[in-house]
A and B are shown apart, each in its own frame.
Chain A
Amino acid sequence: MDEATQARAEAERFRQDFATLRAAIAQMIVGMSEVVDGALSALLCGGHVLLEGVPGLGKTLLVRTLAKAVDLRFSRVQFTPDLMPADVTGTNILYETEDGAREFRFQAGPIFANIVLADEINRATPKTQSALLEAMQEHSVTVAGATRRLDEPFFVLATQNPIEMEGTYPLPEAQLDRFLFKLLVGYPTLEQLATIMDRTTTVAEPQVHVVLNGPRVLAMMRLVRSVPIAPHVQEFALRLVLATHPDQESAPESVRRYVRYGSSPRGGQALVLGGKVMALLDGRYNVAVDDLRTVAPAALRHRLLLNFEGEAEGVATDKLIADAVEAVATARPALEV
């Protein structure tokens, strides 16, 4: 079997495993297909996800189900105002040995897991929120001068409630930028609600089966990064990132008017990586511009900082991103035949 055939076989297996994982989650989660795909894509890209939605939509259940399906170590941290950084990362505690000697031993916090659910992350203080920064970016934790690596894969899913803003601490831009995707959890439809009722108010409880393991997830992550992207497609992603900056010539009028700061380079990384997963799922071996269009809202919506006018008029960030996509697509050179 030559390399190309082998690559195609691996890509096919990726699609199958992804479909299997999606189906397993669907045993528990009704609807939310875009959110599930986004979360799985972020997992396979090696990024983190911020889930935003009102309470009761199944955000926590989704994360728990995902952790069960991939047979990874899962921990949940309920963020509250009195939560301390050490409660997340762990701390050194005084430990008395059998011979009566005393020593400090590191008690690992809930961050030491493969999948971490940071529930209602905006209820913790910025100090505690920042405890996640190093873990999310470097996949390591430093306590009392000692740096400890986190197990791979390391995947943080944070949730936040968009309507109860009283007594919350909105995530700073630096923290938001660490999330690969921001996914919006919408309200289920009537049919989906009916299915949820059927599943949760009867004797029978749906079970989640393990379909993947950690090494397989890591292999899938490596395969994602091996998908090539053509220079002209990558150029589209970078132009899209630049188009979210109001001071750029390529920015559309709406971005110039309502955006204070555009996306960071991490936005471009999120676009390309998300596009690679989309390409594999579509049975391709290349990233297409359409893939970038698809992942653009999830990858960029939390990276755009609106200005006073945008905030006051309640401008939707997704609309600004759509405008930027159209502006970049229109500016692409096209062969006139």
Chain B
Amino acid sequence: MSEGSYSREGHPSAAGSANEGASTRLTGAVKRLRRRVRALQAERRAALGLAAGLGVGVLLRLAEVAHLVQVAPWWYAVAAAVPALGAWLWAFLHPPGLLAVAAAADARLETKDRAASAVALGESGDPMAAALVEDAAEHIAARSPRAVFQRRWAGRLWPPAAAAAALVLAIFLPQWPALQSAQARTERAELKAKAKDFERLATEIEKRSDRQTADLAKQVAENMRKLARDLQSPGMTQKRALVEMKKTAKQIVAARQKIEERSPKKLAQASAELTDVAAKAALAQQAQRLRDLRDLAQLKQAGLKDVETLEQLAKLPTADFEKLRNLPQLKGLNEEHMRRLAELAKRARAAQLYANLDMPQELLDALSELFQKEDYLKALELMQALMEKLADRLKAQQDGKAPKLTPEEIKRLQAELKKLAELLKNTNLDELAKQLRELAEKLSKMDIEELLKQLGKCKGCCGFGVGLGLLPGLGCGLGMCGGAGVGLGVGPGDSMGKYVPGLQDLPSGTSQRVSAKFSDINVRGRFGDKGEVAATEVYVPPSAKGEKGKVPYYRVLPSYREQAEDALRHEEVPPEHRARVKQYFDSLTAQ
């Protein structure tokens, strides 16, 4: 007899012939009850399965918030539905035994085990068992299964309701603006704006596609729309957005290649374009490496440990400056590039002005951007000239020799700025170009400090970006702003074959082995201070002088304790004295 006894099937139909009718009635009633119980159990298990599935959904959502996984909305539906359906099916396919159902009915109807006993004993043929079957049939048969096993909505619904509430909270709470940082809010807003741009771009692509490329354009547009949806999903971050954009960019490149395959271009032309792309890719890599110069931590890896600022870089002796060549980021620069860099550093070092100048990020960005373009050296010269002029002028101003810029100097600066703005025109750095033009226009009204401030305002614009010609007559650009978000723009669209930098092109850190050695240390000490206590029991017999024998008390304590127990059990000892006796012996045992 065990729990299994509940799962045994009874055989009430086999009761004696005298109470055949009662037995049949009882069997029918219990079977009806079992159908009801099976349905209710299936519902209950399904509800529990649903709750468990929703709990899994909560975990998925938490993983998404922690950026461990990206979850599509239909994942939640699957996570909730599969366990619910599985639990329902399992319960439906495993109905309870008649005995268990009868016992449950007895509990509900308070029939004192009549039905269960009748189901279990009905086949015994005993007169009393026959009477029992009749009695049970009278108590059970007339009862409606619905009345016996009522559906208890509260107990059934609260687990899935609680789990659903937890899932809703997990989904929407992290999106609540009050719980997000300012940076996260800004990031989300930018991602949302970019997503709208992508949607607009997708529409544009479909609109401009011709009959030959309609299928590919549709595919690309769908990918872009999916990207737009992903960008608006709750778990999206800037980093993941870049990854998604990289995927989409690859899809676009693949689509472009298919278009190229369909186009009747000659092989030579394609080869020339590929060569062009390769050349620009090399330039882009170099530009990226130059950008990495800003990361002064890299200088430490090169052995220039004391270099913390650009000012210190400027102060470097020539020999140390040559160490820059060993930087992995600069290995691709040729002699001409290094010469220009050295000259720039030399002039800046001479001016001793980098601490005050604080070279604007946008200028460095513009520099690296222009490296990607054909005007690489020209842009470098331009920036170098501009900075030299600014540095010289500032130095003179600090020395008290030239308190303010002269109209000629301002005019020259304006010309240079406009020149730079012209170079940046129609590129991804349109915004910077615009600001540079504004700067040039306002230059006459400002002194040099305001000029530097105005230069500092340019930080909100795009960092670097590249154009991607997708279809004839249409181009799009994917890029990353300087720490501000995802950039997107429709390019000139006049050609194909613009280079898209992949993440694999970005420099990756190199592992560094740290040499170390360790040695054993011996500590002097002694054994035995806290060691085990060695004890010997001593039994002392009574001596001839009349001294009493001695026996360790724990030898006699059990018998004394037993005597005390007997006394407590058999003698009339007041409760307060009982406690005292017990405490006494407990204290002896503790010792």
Residues of A within 8 A of B (CB): 2-8, 11, 163-166, 170, 226-235, 238, 279, 282, 284-291, 306-309, 311-314, 333-337
Contact = CB atoms under 8 A, between A and B. Distances in A.
Residue of A6, A233, A333, A335 ringed by the most chain B CB atoms within 10 A: A335
Interface string B551-591: 00000000001001100111110010011011001000000
B361 interface: no
A286 B103 contact: no
Nearest to B112: A288
Contacts of A290: 112-113
Range of interface residues on chain B? Answer: 35 or more
Interface of B: 1-3, 5-6, 16, 18-19, 22, 37, 40-41, 44, 96, 99-101, 103-104, 107, 112-114, 116-118, 120-121, 124, 126-136, 149, 561, 564-565, 568-572, 575, 578-579, 581-582, 585
Contact of A308 (B5, B99, B121, B561): B561
Contact of A165 (B5, B124, B135, B570): B570
Given A165-B571, A279-B112, 11 more contacts: A2-B18, A3-B127, A166-B572, A228-B132, A232-B6, A233-B116, A286-B118, A312-B578, A313-B582, A333-B6, A337-B149
Contacts of A306: 569
A230 B121 contact: yes
A225 to B, nearest CB: 10
B112 A232 contact: no
A324 B114 CA distance: 24
Secondary structure at the B interface, as helix, strand, loop or mixed, is: helix
Contacts of A230: 113, 116-117, 120-121
Contacts of A5: 18, 131
Contact of B100 (A235, A314, A335): A335
Contacts of B3: 333
B113 A231 contact: no
Contact of B104 (A8, A233, A337): A337
B122 to A, nearest CB: 10
Given A3-B18, A233-B113, A285-B128, A8 B5 contact: no
A287 B118 CA distance: 11
Residue of B2, B569, B582 ringed by the most chain A CB atoms within 10 A: B569
B575 A314 contact: yes
Contacts of B127: 3-4, 6-7, 226
Nearest to A309: B582
Nearest to B585: A308
20 contacts: A3-B16, A4-B19, A4-B130, A8-B131, A227-B128, A228-B117, A228-B124, A228-B132, A229-B117, A233-B117, A234-B1, A284-B135, A286-B112, A286-B114, A290-B113, A308-B561, A308-B565, A308-B585, A333-B3, A335-B96
Contact of B132 (A235, A282, A285, A307): A285
Contacts of A166: 572
Contact of B41 (A6, A163, A233, A336): A336
B131 A311 contact: no
